[in-house]
Amino acid sequence: MHTNTLTILFLTLFTFSVSGQSNYNLKKFPEGKMPQEIGMRIAEKFLNTSHSQYGNTKPPKPPKQITYPDVCTWLGGMWFAEATKNNKLFSRFEDRFHPLLNEEKNLLPKPNHVDNNVFGAVPLELYLQTGKQKYLELGLKYADTQWILPKDAKPEEENWAKKGYSWQTRIWIDDMFMITAIQAQAYRVTDDSKYIDRAAKEMVLYLDEIQLDNGLFYHSPEAHFSWGRGNGWMAVGMAEILRILPKKNPNRERIMEGYHKMMSALLKYQEEDGMWRQIIDDEEAWKETSATAMFTYAMITGVKEGWLNKKNYGTAARKGWLALTDYINADDELTEVCAGTNIMNSREHYMNRPRIVGDLHGQAPLLWCATALVR
């Protein structure tokens, strides 16, 4: 073979190799898209914004309680501070919590619903980092009451409890972050296997009940649409529980199976620009950022933990992250975030949901992604 031909062939292969490697590199990003920078911007935005009303940071009236989108962003901010070893930043997240123990006690949510009980994940994270007993007691109250049947329980709640599940079970995919997050946190702080065992058992119930043959999930058995963020809660819930679930746990293999099935499906539905849609498998649905962030987080975690193929899923995760950063406005707010959404068996219901700027449903998973990238 001619020397020039060999040279060209070598340069072509070298260029392809370098290009291919950069496509799934989760460490180096262009200027303005570095996770350290983006994470700090979103953390600062949260710390300088009042409590939201179910994610809306500009509510017409002050919120009556701390709602789960705040919890998710709070957690994300603390995770990011820990991952970047920024003790001053972590202290500011702790300072934000102090009023809830005193003058803002009225904002503590009642432990009577999956969306409320997840609040306990925040004080438990504070306990993990500070060792302060007051945080442990408050956090465990939310973890424990999720399995303690109330006196006024409804018949269906009693039935779930008799089977060993949380009385708050309702088979909505959102629950698979809300329930597993608080129970996983309780396990992390106590090392008591009952918390992680029941979280894993709950996850398997949901997988068996509502994962579709194509790997995606309907919002609920009554709402036959694969809503983006709903599937995002499931993706993150599985990734998080698998990160800490002991290998000897009898439900680990089943959860990993469900996780792989979902991740494989998501690869097929990711758009060329890296985004996923409001209804994942509907080509006419709009591209939605909170779902994209959640799927990106689940894939980053899977690649870093060694559960997923780096070339395929690292490429998808990188594309997702780069796409998301283009949706951040000058005020450090993520755009195109679907508003909080209840179940309804109607395509129009999901297609016509309000698109909110700066909603914490989007800010939170963006912070999670930044954290996962720098871990």
Does the pLDDT of residue 200 top 60, yes or no?
yes
**What pLDDT, in 10s, does the model give residues 108-140?**
999 999 999 999 999 999 999 999 999 999 999
pTM of the model: 0.94
Helix (H, G, I), strand (E, B) or coil at 272: coil
Q: Is 17 left (phi over 0), alpha (psi -120 to 50) or beta?
A: alpha
User: How far is Cα 340 from Cα 349, in angstroms, rounded to an integer?
Assistant: 12
**What pLDDT, in 10s, does the model give residues 170-190?**
999 999 999 999 999 999 999
User: How far is Cα 92 from Cα 73, in angstroms, rounded to an integer?
Assistant: 14
Considering just the CA atoms, what is the radius of gyration of the chain in Å? 21
What mean pLDDT do residues 226-236 have? 98
So what's the pLDDT on residue 4?
55
Provide the mean pLDDT of the chain. 95
Q: How confident is the model at residue 2 (pLDDT cuts 50, 70, 90)?
A: low
So what's the pLDDT on residue 5?
54
Helix axes 289-305, 315-325, angle to 10 degrees: 140
So what's the pLDDT on residue 14?
43
**What pLDDT, in 10s, does the model give residues 28-58?**
999 999 999 999 999 999 999 999 999 999 9
So what's the pLDDT on residue 17?
40
